[in-house]
């Protein structure tokens, strides 16, 4: 064990990232709205609000700055970011549109507790302490209020001197409507911009700049607007920076700002010219007395309603007039200004409910890195990996390239691992099941493992119709069961049930060629290759799907079906165990492992027990003998967890290296490694690390599970990798949302909402347990103490949101009625 | 003074760079051949051999690897690079074509003394010490042998154990003919490749792989080939890695290599398919006894003869049949194989003469960072900033984007600062003067400051004919004088003289509107803007040009012309001094500095004395009163050198930041800063830092000069910036070749080859002085000691290369006849 028990169980505050942690970037933005991230230097980066990913993008001329003046002293102005990190090796230096040459704060520290981030700035030349808190409302079970296209930035400035200080904080931003592009020198080259207008607008509660354009019609893909507003009352602004040559734009703004902290509007009253846009600045000024603290609140909102009606160029609607679709947020908002109004009108509630969730999650007694793993991957569901269309359809790529989603179709075999959406926004997860079962199942029961029909498309694989994915299809059946159990939504269940049965019945026809009730045919799977012969991955998935089918049939009173699934399950489980057990774990049986390329054979596959892990999470029990399950999962840890990668030989893709730790997808402790083992076998994927960790916890191998989780999060240290972006085949990879299972497993949380029951059985810190829980109806915290005198468990269930009335809670041997 | 005198004068060995110095990249390759660089991890990077820049490029599947086996031990195989640096935040991990998942050496250290680099590898798991020396022949005055398209890699392996060890070192490389490109996943996507062939060839002295293609005709821009050979005798090879799916290619190679250090050729005898290429590996095997050291010598050569007949898309020959031209190296070689033959046949001499130069330069007693500044910027003349056409024409961009040259035309005002080519390969520098004076001077004497006529083009500026550059035109006259004085080439002088007079006579007509013999008109200059009114930059340049004209006229016996230039010089100098002297330095005189945008007015311009600096370097003496010159240069240091940039406000481009030091282009110590001062005024350019440092040294302000040089080189520390790439408006920026002037100034070197005289007058370390010198006829070292008893200077001139017979040397009050 690489970590001591004390270290593993400790529950400290979350890690902080210094400005030198170059890739730490905390995403803001709602569900289906896109993001902008705040970096550890306090900089805005990764602009992904234009309906496509935008990693590594900056927005020209866009930053916060502070002006400070005390009587008898020279004014000081700085960009509210800490200093730029090396390397400084651009072929033409930093361009003025980055403002890199302006003074910056000495240091910054980022604390990100999703969905809230805080940055503390320090600078010995200023008589002030400055910090900034930023967030986008996030309230589980409330999709709408978690899907607001905007973010709040609250700067708090405390006067640490003994003289009053005049302070202006200004936000500057280019009007990006029409798109931002550059020439080879890094100069702006806005081929589609023009007719851009930055208006000053004043409401009762706030005022600010409305960035729009007169160039695009409302259904143009480039149509949209942004608002940058403040609720502070004493404002100053410049609607447009100088329309000059060379670098005049920045010089004029900066000199104006430095002089007196007040901005002179230059009086331009015409829209920007063709191929041009304007930058606006909005400042708020306050006099702060010694010891006093004042707030400067800015709100940034965006409204880019139109997106390609499709996944991407390959799968999209090509019919004239239907090429464009809208984001869900257009159901509530008609402009970025209306978004700002909503945010400000409802701010008290939105803040309170967001904090309820934040506090429930982060006041947990679970280890800090577990909460970190659980919370940080929530970002994926609000990242560009997911999108949410006007008609309510919620969809997900696997992950994203820096500038486009990939791969298409809410891929069943990848999304199988993900738990976060299901446990926070079950309606959205149900929507994905509806797409899969109601639109993507063929007459014969084959489910297309990528959903592309809604965009008039078909998924093509190696030039032909794609096969069914054995793991994807079986796991999706299990997940439909989860959605029902979590929500108690019988109508949903009944709607899906005929299709669900078809997909389950398809399994034996398609994949069991020798009629022994164990899969052995060509089994396409999440490694993008086909397994042949009996193997634990797909075989155990099948067992889980059968158990789900059996439970549903029983609930619906379909006795025959229930018995059929039960019988097949029992035979299949017995046969699979006979075929694949090697005395320590389950292996793939093939006469010659090199007969087909890309098999695992006698290898110890990290995913061998994946179906069982899901069965645990969803309350389906053991699919194979308990002791063998435990032995298998323990073997995965024993053989596949590496404490060092310096001498690891991996000819595939590399996600972990050097002195890092991680869990391999496969290893061959008993030899038998194929010449060309399945692709990805020598890689490390966080989604698999999490599912194995969750499973280890279920089997009581707590230390082992936590060790894996800690390894993953240690790799994501802000310097090497972004803590809020676990990458696999793409940024914000859906599979990493397996981490939510840690919360479920460590709480011993079980749910049966159709029957009105939940239960807790903490597997860690039993004597002082606090953790978040959720169902489709309500969420809150579960607390448990052990009475030192009686030794009795004292459970406490707090409902923080939603309606949990009538739910019975089993915990600590007691039953609590909510 | 930020540095103590001891620190500044010390002459230590050169800096070393660890593998963590992420941007250190030492360029290999000859004049006009392009480069590939060796990074501090030992990796090959920045492939620029295909007639265009290629910063940040890698070559897929291309690396050296080592296999080690001792009796009774498991074999160990590693890539011969140290470990990959963070961040590891690619959206899809590291692709297998990077080999990132393979084991690597624990540490590496790069020592680069241009033109020779050495890397030491350490790895505690190997019973070996491994180092590698690499270079491309470089011999001043021998353009041909300094222009070989190839590089030598010598690995030395010492057995540090007490048992024999079997070692194979293998080099792997993809056949890149047709071009290397990628799909979005990072997979190879070779749209132009196909018919690629990797042949094994064996010569008497060497053997290796010849990488070519049957697809392209000899005049196709994509035509070319590469050779990877070894002079070791015991070789093993695989002409093509496995043509498989997924990542089979690397898996098969690596497994084959690891197994026994011997490679199995897979027997493919057909060229690669359409859109495909093959990777080949070549290994050399040795048994090394305890304590023994053995060499593994690899040579990489390339032959991509054809390049666009032009500077770029804007300026190129469009006439059918003439769109393509050839590199100079095609005069000597007809394939990469013939390059390898030449390198190996002449290796003894090429190594000896390269080492003569290297040792002459690096065994100097000048401070290490001075030698570093002088040597490291030699790279520019062999970088893609310069190119050399078959007909002998030598041309230079200002610098390069990562993937294209920019800007075009051997820009006179930028190249004015550069000294390196003139002092090492004067024939190439003369060629540039010939282009300028014989092709680019109009009837009226206007010189186009960008030479583009040779490619049937004209330089357009803001939509019209570009103006003459006042600084560029005057400096080029001075440089023509330098070329003649350095070479003694009277024919060259006489060829240029009529045109030179015309360009000088043009000056007063064009730029002196009030007939006071001082420039006051619209004066386009190196800041890409126009100065108006009398100013020191162009005014003093004019004085230098007049003095050059006067000297030449005198030599040629044109008495009238001599007297005319002398008279104008004297009047102009007096008038300029009256007009511009502010008591401390020279300023620009404008009634209202804001009347025109982009002036400097009362600012202290770092370039104010540039013409004087050139006059010193070229032996033209003082152009203005000596004490005022010294005061002005001292003011530049005093006002413009900043010891810290944390609170510097720069709205222009940023080259220096945070806690770094550097010399600003301008400052306004007495106020009067224009609202919009000339662009670039708040920036820092290494070329200007060097020319000011050189000038400070000439004026006896040695500490100040050295302080600037140290600041520049401290910024280029391998972690923040590449020591072998000083960037301004582009990589390998020509202006940075001003650094060669440090050698001239510190040696007090003067040259008058037409009269057969050179002299030395060291300005530093007079009691123990050793430094390199060169003329157009020969080069060597100058050594000087002071006899402790007599106090007399004991000078010693060593000729290492060329014919210096008949040259008289004045040094230490003595005259030496060579």
Contact B258 A649 (CB under 8 A): yes
Query: Which of A606, A611, A614 lies closest to A740 in space, CA to CA?
Result: A614
Give the DSSP letter of residue B83. Answer: P
Q: In which residue are the tokens 């606090």 written?
A: A770
Q: Do A101 and B657 touch (CB under 8 A)?
A: yes
What's the pLDDT at B1?
A: 46
Distance separating alpha carbons of residues A418 and A395, to the nearest angstrom: 13
Residue A9 has pLDDT above 90, yes or no: no
Rounded distance between C-alpha atoms, residue B31 and residue B246, angstroms: 40
How is residue B222 annotated by DSSP?
T
One DSSP character per residue, B769-786 reads EEEEEE-SSEEEEEEEEE
Q: Is B491 in the A-facing interface, judged by CB distances under 8 Å? A: no
Q: For chain A, how many residues are written?
A: 818
Asked whether A416 and A471 are in contact (CB, 8 A), the reply is: yes
Is B103 near chain A, with CB under 8 Å?
yes
CA distances from B509 to B79, B370, B499, B532, B570 (A): 65, 42, 16, 15, 18
CA distance B520 to chain A (A): 23
Do the beta carbons of residue A501 and residue A507 sit within 8 Å?
no
Give yes or no for a contact between B693 and B708, defined as CB atoms under 8 angstroms apart.
yes
> Does CATH place domain A412-580 in 1.20.58.100?
no
Distance from the Cα of A402 to chain B's closest Cα (Å) equals: 7
Model pLDDT for residues B406-441, shown as the tens digit of each residue: 999 999 999 999 999 999 999 999 999 999 999 999
Question: Which residues in B lie closer than 8 A to residue A655 (C-beta atoms)?
Answer: 88, 93-94
What 3-state DSSP class applies to A51?
coil
> What's the pLDDT at A702?
97
Q: Between chains, do B652 and A101 touch, taking CB under 8 Å as contact?
A: yes
> Which chain A residues have a beta carbon less than 8 Å from that of B401?
91-92, 184
- Rounded CA separation A465/A7 (Å): 51
Q: CA B29 → CA A651, B356, B384, B420, distances in Å?
A: 31, 18, 10, 17
Q: Do B722 and A89 touch (CB under 8 A)?
A: yes
pLDDT at res. A2: 47
Residues of chain B neighbouring A731 (CB-CB closer than 8 A)? 91
Distance of CA B73 to the CA centre of its chain: 47
* Residue of B96, B729, B731 lying closest to A651 (CB–CB): B96
Sign of the dihedral through C-alpha A284, A287, A291, A292 = negative
Nearest CA among B253, B232, B233 for reference residue B241: B253
Give the per-residue pLDDT at B5.
Answer: 55
Q: Does A87 reach chain B within 8 Å, measured CB to CB? A: yes
* A247–B652 CB contact, under 8 Å: yes
Contact between B653 and A94 using a beta-carbon 8 Å cutoff: yes
Give the pLDDT confidence score for residue B132 in this predicted structure: 98
**8-state DSSP, A423:** H
Report residue A1's pLDDT band, with 50, 70 and 90 as the boundaries.
very low
Closest CA to B344 of B502, B505, B169, B208: B208
Q: Count contacts between A and B (CB, < 8 Å).
A: 198
- State how far the Cα of B236 lies from the Cα of A760, in Å rounded to an integer: 64
A648 touching B, CB under 8 A? yes
Q: Which residues of B49-78 are buried (b: 16+ CB within 10 A; e: fewer)?
A: bbbbbbbeebbbbbbbbbbbbbeeeeebbb
Q: Is A247 in contact with B651 (Cβ distance < 8 A)? A: yes
Q: B393 is written with which tokens?
A: 């024409």
Same fold, B17-317 and B412-580: no
CA–CA separation, A501 vs A551, rounded Å? 12
pLDDT for the residue numbered A403: 97
- Please give, rounded to a whole number of angstroms, the shortest distance from the CA of B499 to a CA of chain A: 35
Please write the tens of the pLDDT for every residue from A716-731.
999 999 999 999 999 9
**What residues of chain B, 604 to 623, have a C-beta less than 8 Å from chain A?**
none
Task: Determine the pLDDT at residue B13.
Answer: 86
Of A90, A682, A730, the CB nearest to B91: A730
Read off the pLDDT of residues A440-488 as tens digits, 9 standing for 90 and up.
999 999 999 999 999 999 998 888 999 999 999 999 999 999 999 999 9
Q: Which residues of B touch A254 (CB under 8 A)?
A: 649, 651
Residue whose pair of structure tokens reads 């004068």 in the numeric block: B9
Q: What is the pLDDT of residue A461?
A: 86
| Optimal mutation site among B63, B88, B401, B683, interface A, most CBs of chain A within 10 A | B88
**Where exactly are the structural domains of chain B?**
17-317, 412-580, 750-817
> Hey, what are B590's tokens?
């404008």
Does residue B596 belong to the interface with chain A, where contact is any CB pair within 8 Å? Answer: no
Q: Residues of B with CB below 8 A from A401's CB?
A: 91-92, 184
Q: Among candidates B266, B331, B295, which has minimal Cα distance to B157? A: B295
Cross-chain residue pair B103–A647, CB shorter than 8 Å: yes
Q: Are A29 and A36 in contact (CB under 8 A)?
A: yes
Residue B251 sits at the chain A interface (C-beta within 8 Å): yes
Contacts of B463 in chain A (CB under 8 A): none
Q: Are residues A91 and B402, on separate chains, in Cβ contact within 8 Å?
A: yes
Per-residue pLDDT, A739? 98
Residues 16-75 of A with CB under 8 A from B: 22-23, 55
For the stretch A531-550, pLDDT in tens is: 999 999 999 999 999 999 99
pLDDT tens-place string over residues A160-196: 999 999 999 999 999 999 999 999 999 999 999 999 9
Contact residues on chain B for A185, CB-CB shorter than 8 A: 729
B184: nearest CA in chain A?
A: A401
**Beta-strand runs (E) in B278-437:** 279-288, 293-303, 306-308, 324-326, 386-388, 394-396, 399-400, 405-406
Using alpha carbons, select from A91, A813, A327, A742 the residue that is nearest to residue B726: A91
Q: Is the peptide bond before A87 cis (omega within 30 degrees of 0)?
A: yes
The answer to whether A426 faces chain B, any CB pair under 8 Å, is: no
Residue found by looking up tokens 């004029």 in the block = A252
Rg (chain A; Cα; Å): 28
Would you call A94 an interface residue with chain B, using a CB distance cutoff of 8 Å? yes
Above 60 in pLDDT, residue A734? yes
Reduce the DSSP state of residue B568 to 3 states and report it. Answer: helix
**Is-contact B184 A408, C-beta < 8 A?**
no
Nearest-5° Cα angle at B560, B554 to B566: 65
Alpha carbons B650 and A103: distance in angstroms, whole number: 8
Q: What is the ipTM of this complex?
A: 0.97
Place of tokens 């046949």: B345
Of B55, B652, B658, the CB nearest to A96: B652
B355-361 — which CB contacts under 8 Å span 24+ positions? B355/B116, B356/B139, B356/B800, B356/B801, B357/B115, B357/B138, B357/B139, B357/B140, B357/B772, B357/B779, B357/B800, B357/B801, B358/B113, B358/B115, B358/B116, B358/B138, B360/B772, B360/B779, B360/B780, B360/B781, B360/B800, B361/B113, B361/B772
Residue A8 has pLDDT above 70, yes or no: no
What topology does CATH give the domain A17-317?
Answer: Beta-galactosidase; Chain A, domain 5 (2.70.98)
According to the model, what pLDDT value does residue A10 have?
Answer: 58
Average pLDDT by consecutive 10-residue portion of chain B (818 residues)?
A: 54 88 98 98 98 98 98 97 98 98 98 97 97 98 98 98 98 98 95 97 96 97 98 98 97 98 98 97 98 98 98 96 97 98 98 97 95 98 98 98 96 98 98 98 97 95 92 98 98 98 96 96 97 98 98 98 98 98 98 96 98 98 98 98 97 98 98 97 98 98 98 98 98 98 98 98 95 98 95 96 97 95
The residues in B 729-768 lying below 8 A from A, measured between CB atoms, are 729-731
Q: What is the DSSP-derived secondary structure letter of residue A98? A: G
Q: What is the DSSP letter of A654?
A: B
Instruction: Output phi, psi for A301, to 5 deg.
Output: -130, 155
- Work out the angle at residue B269's Cα, subtended by the Cα atoms of residues B267 and B272, and round it to the nearest 5 degrees: 110
Q: How far apart are CA B194 and CA B197, in angstroms?
A: 9
| Chain B residues whose beta carbon lies within 8 Å of the beta carbon of residue A83 | 646, 657-658
């Amino acid at each position: 064990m690489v970590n001591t028990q004390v270290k593993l169980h400790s529950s400290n505050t979350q890690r902080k990232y210094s400005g030198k942690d170059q890739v730490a970037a905390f995403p803001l933005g709602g569900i289906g709205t896109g993001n902008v991230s705040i970096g550890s230097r306090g900089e805005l980066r990764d602009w992904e609000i234009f309906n496509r990913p935008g990693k590594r993008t900056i927005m020209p001329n866009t930053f916060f700055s502070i002006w400070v003046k005390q009587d008898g002293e020279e004014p000081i102005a700085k960009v509210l970011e800490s200093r730029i990190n090396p390397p400084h090796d651009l072929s033409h230096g930093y361009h003025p549109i980055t403002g890199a040459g302006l003074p910056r704060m000495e240091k910054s520290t980022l604390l990100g507790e999703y969905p809230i981030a805080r940055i503390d700035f320090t600078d010995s030349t200023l008589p002030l302490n400055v910090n900034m808190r930023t967030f986008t409302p996030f309230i589980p079970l409330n999709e709408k209020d978690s899907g607001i296209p905007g973010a709040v930035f609250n700067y708090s400035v405390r006067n640490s001197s003994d003289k009053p200080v005049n302070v202006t904080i200004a936000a500057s931003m280019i009007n990006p409507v029409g798109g931002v592009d550059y020439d080879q020198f890094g100069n702006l080259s806005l081929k589609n911009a023009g007719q851009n207008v930055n208006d000053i607008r004043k409401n009762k509660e706030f005022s600010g700049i409305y960035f729009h354009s007169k160039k695009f019609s409302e259904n143009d893909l480039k149509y949209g607007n942004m608002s940058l507003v403040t609720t502070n009352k004493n404002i100053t602004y410049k609607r447009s920076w100088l329309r000059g040559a060379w670098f005049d734009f920045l010089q004029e703004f900066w000199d104006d700002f430095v002089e007196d902290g007040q901005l002179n509007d230059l009086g331009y009253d015409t829209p920007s010219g063709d191929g041009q846009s304007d930058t606006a600045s909005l400042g708020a000024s306050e006099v702060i007395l010694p010891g006093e603290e004042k707030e400067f609140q800015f709100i940034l909102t965006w409204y880019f309603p139109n997106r390609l009606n499709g996944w991407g160029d390959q799968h999209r609607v090509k019919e004239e007039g239907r090429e464009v679709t809208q984001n869900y947020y257009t159901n509530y908002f008609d402009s970025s200004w209306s978004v700002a109004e909503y945010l400000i009108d409802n701010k008290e509630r939105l803040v309170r409910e967001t904090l309820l969730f934040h506090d429930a999650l982060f006041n947990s007694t679970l280890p800090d890195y577990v909460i970190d793993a659980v919370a940080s991957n929530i970002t994926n569901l609000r990242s560009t990996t997911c999108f949410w269309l006007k008609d309510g359809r919620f969809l997900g790529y696997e992950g994203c390239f820096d500038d486009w989603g990939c791969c298409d179709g809410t891929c069943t075999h990848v999304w199988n691992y993900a738990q976060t959406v299901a446990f926070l926004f079950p309606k959205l997860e149900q929507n994905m099941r509806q797409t899969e079962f109601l639109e993507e199942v063929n007459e014969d029961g084959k489910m297309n493992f990528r959903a592309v029909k809604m965009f008039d498309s078909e998924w093509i694989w190696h030039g032909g119709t794609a096969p069914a994915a054995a793991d994807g299809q079986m796991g999706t059946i299990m997940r439909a069961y989860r959605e029902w159990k979590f929500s108690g939504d019988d109508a949903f269940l009944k709607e899906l049930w005929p299709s669900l049965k078809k997909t389950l019945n398809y399994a034996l026809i398609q994949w069991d060629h020798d009629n022994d009730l164990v899969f052995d045919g060509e089994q396409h799977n999440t490694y993008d290759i086909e397994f042949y012969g009996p193997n634990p991955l797909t075989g155990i998935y099948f067992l889980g799907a059968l158990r789900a089918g059996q439970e549903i049939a029983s609930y619906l009173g379909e006795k025959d079906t229930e018995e059929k699934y039960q019988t097949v399950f029992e035979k299949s489980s017995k046969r699979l165990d006979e075929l694949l057990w090697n005395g320590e774990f389950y292996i793939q049986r093939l006469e010659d492992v090199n007969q087909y390329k890309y098999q695992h054979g006698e290898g110890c596959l990290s995913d061998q027990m994946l179906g069982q892990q899901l069965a645990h999470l969803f309350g389906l029990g053991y699919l194979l003998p308990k002791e063998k399950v435990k032995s298998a999962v323990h073997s995965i840890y024993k053989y596949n967890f590496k404490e060092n990668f310096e001498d690891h030989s991996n000819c595939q893709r590399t996600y972990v290296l050097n002195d890092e730790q991680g869990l391999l997808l496969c290893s061959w402790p008993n030899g038998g490694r194929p010449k060309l083992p399945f692709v990805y076998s020598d890689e490390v994927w966080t989604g698999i690390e999490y599912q194995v960790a969750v499973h280890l916890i279920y089997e009581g191998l707590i230390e082992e599970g936590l060790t894996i989780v800690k390894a993953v999060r240690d790799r994501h240290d802000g310097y090497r990798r972004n803590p809020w972006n676990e990458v696999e085949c793409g940024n914000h990879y859906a599979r990493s949302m397996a981490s939510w299972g840690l919360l479920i497993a460590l709480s011993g949380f079980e749910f049966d909402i159709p029957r009105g029951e939940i239960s807790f059985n903490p597997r860690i810190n039993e004597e002082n347990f606090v953790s978040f829980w959720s169902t489709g109806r309500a969420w809150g915290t579960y607390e448990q103490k052990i009475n030192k005198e009686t030794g009795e468990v004292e459970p406490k269930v707090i409902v923080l949101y939603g309606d949990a009335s009538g739910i019975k809670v089993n915990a600590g041997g007691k039953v609590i009625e909510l």
